[in-house]
């Protein structure tokens, strides 16, 4: 818990810093990228100069991507929690996740039919799933198996006493597993830190899991990670059961067409 607290403090500080710097940076990058594009159209440029301009533009675009991520990370995203069935949240985003991972990897889902409802912001859970799935994809450059599964987990007070940091209660678990490269214990220790990445420059920002951590913490949930080098990784997200039941999908539709006021 002490660790989680320190992590949250760090996230807060980095978030504020990032938001401020990223905004100004974005404006500068718009100028750099814009002029690089104009220059690339100059017919008097030699082939050599054209190659340099293309490098400038490529780096500028990567920097713009990084600042966009920083802005999203720094922005205090307001939670809009509703009682939801996480299975539905997964189904909503499956098409997009499949496009993210490309055609070479298969995405399997194993969703428990009786999953307990949780209070969550569906948009933020989409973001969590996207970040975890992109990492799983990157961990399996030569293929493998990616699975999203759900189940209800009950932690009794006795169980909670046996596991460090465990909290008793009923939780909906979302697990994202891959059969990829896995992590060493040294890497595993730092993955939730902002800017920690083992990916090559331009590919990783080190903000994906820091964002996941922030979203799950804001939902009153927790994360467990199991990983073995060369075998794969499982990220398990636990969100506490909502006290009210999730509305049936039919009720959602009815609520939308019902006139306001």
- Token digits for 13? 């500080």
Exactly one of 60, 117, 144, 208 binds ligand ADP (CB under 6 A); that residue is 208
Select from 184, 193, 100 the least CA-distant residue to 148. 100
Closest approach of Cβ 212 to ligand ADP, in Å?
A: 7
CB count within 10 Å of CB 112 equals 15
Q: Which is nearer to ligand ADP, 118 or 207 (CB)?
A: 207
Task: Say how many residues touch ligand ADP, by CB under 6 A.
Answer: 23
Exactly one of 14, 22, 205, 242 binds ligand ADP (CB under 6 A); that residue is 205
Backbone angles phi, psi at 189, to 5 degrees: -70, -25
Q: Which is nearer to ligand ADP, 90 or 183 (CB)?
A: 183
Taking the C-alpha atoms of residue 211 and residue 127, their distance in angstroms, rounded to an integer, is: 9
Give the CA dihedral 64, 70, 72, 77, nearest 10 degrees: -160
Q: Which is nearer to ligand ADP, 116 or 175 (CB)?
A: 175
Taking the C-alpha atoms of residue 94 and residue 241, their distance in angstroms, rounded to an integer, is: 23
> What character string, x for contact with ligand ADP (CB under 6 A) and - otherwise, covers 100-139?
-------------------------------x---xx--x
Of 172-201, which residues contact ligand ADP (CB under 6 A)? 178, 180-183, 187, 191, 196-199
Sign of the alpha-carbon torsion through 20, 21, 23, 27? positive
What residues make contact with ligand ADP under the rule CB under 6 A?
A: 131, 135-136, 139, 178, 180-183, 187, 191, 196-199, 204-210, 233
């Amino acid at each position: 818990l002490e660790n989680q607290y320190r992590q949250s403090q760090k996230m807060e500080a980095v978030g504020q810093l990032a938001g401020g710097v990223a905004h100004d940076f974005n404006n500068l990058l718009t100028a750099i990228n814009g002029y690089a594009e104009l220059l690339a159209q100059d017919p008097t440029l030699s082939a050599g100069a054209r190659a340099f301009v293309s490098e400038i533009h490529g780096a500028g675009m990567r920097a713009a991507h990084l600042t966009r991520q920083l802005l999203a990370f720094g922005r205090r995203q307001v939670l809009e929690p509703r009682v939801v069935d996480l299975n539905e949240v997964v189904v909503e985003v499956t098409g997009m996740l499949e496009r993210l991972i490309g055609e070479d990897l298969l995405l399997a889902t194993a969703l428990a039919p009786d999953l307990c409802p949780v209070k969550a912001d569906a948009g933020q859970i989409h973001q969590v799933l996207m970040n975890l799935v992109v990492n799983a994809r990157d961990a399996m450059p030569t293929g493998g198996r990616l699975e999203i599964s759900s189940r209800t987990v009950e932690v009794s007070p006795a169980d909670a006493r046996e596991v460090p940091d465990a909290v008793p209660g009923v939780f909906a678990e979302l697990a994202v597993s891959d059969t990829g490269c896995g992590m060493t214990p040294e890497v595993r220790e730092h993955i939730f830190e902002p800017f920690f990445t083992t990916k090559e420059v331009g590919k990783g920002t080190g903000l994906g899991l820091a964002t996941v951590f922030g979203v799950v913490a804001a939902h009153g949930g927790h994360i467990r990670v199991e990983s073995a080098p060369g075998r794969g990784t499982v990220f398990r997200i636990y969100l506490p059961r909502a006290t009210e039941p999730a509305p049936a999908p039919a009720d959602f539709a009815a609520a939308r067409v019902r006139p306001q006021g």
